[in-house]
Structure 1
Amino acid sequence: MSRIDNQFNVQFWGVRGSIPCPGLDTVRYGGNTPCVSMQVGGKRLVFDAGTGLHVLGKSLLSQMPVEGHIFFTHSHWDHIQGFPFFTPAFISGNKFDIYGAIAPDGSTIEQRLNGQMLHPNFPVPLQIMGSNLTFHNVQPGQPIHIDDIIIETAHLNHPGEAVGYRVNWQGGAAVYITDTEHYADHLDENVLWLARNADVLIYDSTYTDEEYRNPKSSKIGWGHSTWQEAVKMAKAANVKTLAIYHHDPAHNDEFLDRIGEEAHACFSGAIMAREGLILPITTTDSTSESFSASKYSA
């Protein structure tokens, strides 16, 4: 087995929610919208296709031909807007399997990705992509098997619905939970189940509790959670590392620094997701060094 085939790594390419926010105030954490990749054995898994997917695509151009599996939580704009700019998808010889749940209106992920690339929204249609694209309908609650990788799925609490994913391989587990809103009186059982004993939990922490409950500008019902709720979930689920994710575009680097300090004080395994961050996961067959949260914190 090669070194790459024995790795389980998580890498962040876009960590913002809602809208890209490049600028001097967001340099350290990044301004691209959601995209996370996982190297799981010899397989490449990608979660969401925000503008971070464009950055990932550029990094793959030196590795042609490439194959990958792209999973969508849902099709709100910030999670699909990078797909038309994913250069490897336009190159013949590349191969991508694409997964997403059927939307409440009955549309498939293929139909929704196709729709955003139709005139007058975009100059070329999805069909111009030269790679081999295979689309799969996800049924939340049903696992997805890719060789010896098991990907568990569940519904999340978000307007228009969303899907959470848990990737299991060789005794290691990484969980991708965005976009979701916590419940006021109990922990979300779907999230708790996906997050159980995970090595890494990536969790939608768009707001602080104060912002979420602000009587002048309440965020209740918007479909996102807080870093305080993320800590509660991580503790209840016995998570090793909590990656605070889907940062509000209004939160600059200094604001996120403060959140990181407060979250780490509440839960020693809490870190702030930032573009370029790589988290290695130790598996039963792994020879890589054990993960240290402090080593990778921002």
Structure 2
Amino acid sequence: MQIRFWGTRGSLPVAPKAQAVRDKIAAALVAADGRRFATVAQAGNFLEHEMPFAGAHSYGGATSCVELDVGEGAFIICDMGSGLRELGLDSLRRCAEGRPREWHFFLSHLHWDHIMGFPFFVPAFAPGSKIVIHAGHADAEAALRRQQEEISFPVPFDYLRADIEFRTLEPARDYTIGAVIVSCIEQHHSHASYGFRFTDKTGKSAIYSTDSEHKIDRMDGEADVVSFFANADLVVCDTMYSLADSVSMKEDWGHSSNIVAVDLCHEAKARRLVLFHHEPTYSDADIERMHLETIRYEELTRAEAPLEVLCAYDGLAVDI
């Protein structure tokens, strides 16, 4: 199973400001210290191996959209954030190479940053496409139709030519999608959100859990989450805020911190954690700093096997 990240920001898409790009170029020139590069490849090698990630790359600006690829069968996608547009185009390329034209979506919830990509999902406009939208919310269809009403979008939902089906999921039940077994859990968020556990035929499991608030002073009430995360090979977790933000001015906003994500994964004996749903006001340097702080916190609080801590960015692919 491979997990691909097409959108990793929370709340709204962000684009790099001209000043931020300028600062990255200036920092790279200073770090190069007068060296000359004969080719673009040589310059790229310098950026890749001698610059920090935030100095040579970007964590991206698209909102939540994550693909689980088992290498065959239908496409499995978590959420429909703005990263879905690029995923849609790439999936059509793979369909041309033999993949079936079938897409299964699992929606964490119906807030706009998690569904805003669907009106730009090209396969939905193509006859012969089959799209199945799974959600714990019975009003998922109403939400998707509403964002394509004339007052909000020029193309109505009924203009889409794909065969579109909605299925309402129930917690504590297993669902089979091709070679993958899926279950869900209700989470703490406005209008509720749902986390998903995906297990492939080899027994490998991945958790997608975003837009859920876990409070540092109420961790004794998270037994259901720990059980859901138990022994997962990979946990994609909402770490939108630093701990300081999550317990002060942004308490009860429906999101969690990097610290509680580590604590939950340690207790659940998960193997890898991916920091996800990045705060849109955080710069690349801010996100990288949080990543390094999280790695250090994990080392200091580790009791048994190490938990590998990754940080999601648009384009990241992780094999499990």
| TM interval, short-chain normalised | 0.7 to 0.9
Residue of structure 2 equivalent to 1:203: 237
State TM-score, norm by structure 1.
0.86
CA distance in 2, matches of 1:118, 1:248: 29
- Following superposition of structure 1 onto structure 2, how do residues 252-267 of structure 1 map, counting pairs within 5 Å? 252-267=283-298
Q: 1:18 aligns with which of 11, 14, 25?
A: 11
CA distance in 2, matches of 1:63, 1:241: 28
Q: Tell me the amino acid that sits aligned with residue 224 of structure 2.
A: N
Larger of the two Rg values belongs to structure: 2
Counterpart of 1:264 in 2: which secondary structure? helix
- Following superposition of structure 1 onto structure 2, how do residues 141-152 of structure 1 map, counting pairs within 5 Å? 141-152=172-183
Q: 2:193 aligns with which of 137, 144, 162?
A: 162
Matched, 1:273 2:312: yes
Deviations 1:138-182 (A, max 9, x none): 112322212442111110011110010000112100000011000
Residue of structure 2 equivalent to 1:212: 246
Deviation at 1:266, TM superposition (A): 2.5
Counterpart of 2:66 in 1: which secondary structure? strand
Matched, 1:34 2:34: no
Q: 1:135 aligns with which of 153, 157, 166?
A: 166
Counterpart of 2:110 in 1: which secondary structure? coil
Deviation at 1:190, TM superposition (A): 3.0
Deviation at 1:32, TM superposition (A): 0.4
Counterpart of 1:124 in 2: which secondary structure? coil
Deviations 1:93-147 (A, max 9, x none): 1211111122xxxx52112111111111111111111111111111123222124
CA distance in 2, matches of 1:59, 1:192: 35
Deviation at 1:233, TM superposition (A): 0.9
Q: Tell me the amino acid that sits aligned with residue 267 of structure 2.
A: A
Q: Tell me the amino acid that sits aligned with residue 181 of structure 1.
A: E
Deviation at 1:41, TM superposition (A): 4.7
Q: Tell me the amino acid that sits aligned with residue 182 of structure 1.
A: H
State TM-score, norm by structure 2.
0.80
Gap runs ≥5 in structure 1 = 1-7, 282-298
Q: Tell me the amino acid that sits aligned with residue 232 of structure 2.
A: A
Q: 1:177 aligns with which of 188, 209, 213?
A: 209
CA distance in 2, matches of 1:57, 1:120: 25
Residue of structure 1 equivalent to 2:281: 250
CA distance in 2, matches of 1:56, 1:114: 21
Q: 1:186 aligns with which of 212, 219, 241?
A: 219
RMSD: 1.5
Deviation at 1:71, TM superposition (A): 0.6
Q: Tell me the amino acid that sits aligned with residue 274 of structure 1.
A: Y
- Following superposition of structure 1 onto structure 2, how do residues 102-141 of structure 1 map, counting pairs within 5 Å? 102=137, 107-141=138-172
Deviations 1:185-212 (A, max 9, x none): 2252332122110010000000001112
Q: Tell me the amino acid that sits aligned with residue 202 of structure 1.
A: V
Q: Tell me the amino acid that sits aligned with residue 14 of structure 2.
A: C
Q: Where in structure 1 do 4 or more consecutive aligned residues deviate above 6 Å?
A: none
Q: 1:68 aligns with which of 92, 103, 107?
A: 103
CA distance in 2, matches of 1:232, 1:260: 15
Q: Tell me the amino acid that sits aligned with residue 83 of structure 1.
A: F
Counterpart of 1:150 in 2: which secondary structure? strand
Q: 1:223 aligns with which of 247, 250, 254?
A: 254
How many residues align? The count is 267
8 Å Cα contact 2:207-2:232 kept in structure 1? yes
CA distance in 2, matches of 1:41, 1:171: 15
Larger helix percent: 2
Deviation at 1:49, TM superposition (A): 0.3
8 Å Cα contact 1:164-1:191 kept in structure 2? no
Bigger mean CA offset, 172-181 vs 110-119: 110-119
Counterpart of 2:146 in 1: which secondary structure? helix
Q: Tell me the amino acid that sits aligned with residue 263 of structure 2.
A: K
Matched, 1:97 2:132: yes
Q: Tell me the amino acid that sits aligned with residue 42 of structure 1.
A: E
Q: Tell me the amino acid that sits aligned with residue 65 of structure 2.
A: C
CA distance in 2, matches of 1:189, 1:122: 42
